[in-house]
Amino acid sequence: MATLLGIPKVWELLKCFKGQCQLKGYKTSEYGDWVKTGGEYHNFLWTRTVHPSTFEKIAMSRRFAIRKGISYQVVEVSYTAWVFPETPPEKLMQIVTENPELSKTIAIYDLSWAYAGKPVCLKLNETDSMVFREFEKFLEEKWGVKIQPAVS
């Protein structure tokens, strides 16, 4: 299932990106949307929308359960990217930009324009995550989506 630009739905897009990460030697999850490089977990969360208070609670908690075989393990997540196929609430950008600690660990990608047929992705990414930079490169090179800073 693809959009007007041929960009797959978010879950398929992340699956394709994880495949590219595996080619680079990064560890990825069969069951979740995370990538591990060295000792750092880079988590991808995708949702249509989220209430700002819920976003803040999840963003402030850096713990995440990952599946290992038939059990789960709680790990410390270094970076989290929130990927939205629809325009996220403006308050989310404000929460991240007003908190220097969050802005170092949280990235927000607004793919709503790309899914509406305009090859643009608005981003808020002040992290040092090399995986998120690879994600942006993947969107540009593989899908022709121009990455632009979000204006908050």
63-74 pLDDT, tens per residue? 888 887 788 889
The stretch 74-103 carries a mean pLDDT of 94
3-state secondary structure of 6: coil
Residue 3 — φ and ψ, nearest 5°?
-95, -175
9 Cβ contact list (under 8 Å, min separation 6): 1, 2, 3, 85
Mean pLDDT of the chain, nearest integer: 91
pLDDT of residue 36: 95
pLDDT of residue 66: 82
pLDDT of residue 5: 58
Q: How confident is the model at residue 147 (pLDDT cuts 50, 70, 90)?
A: very high
* pLDDT exceeds 50 at position 45: yes
CB-based burial label for 14 (10 Å; 0-12, 13-18, 19+): buried
19-37 confidence digits (pLDDT tens): 999 999 999 988 788 999 9
Distance of CA 108 to the CA centre of its chain: 7
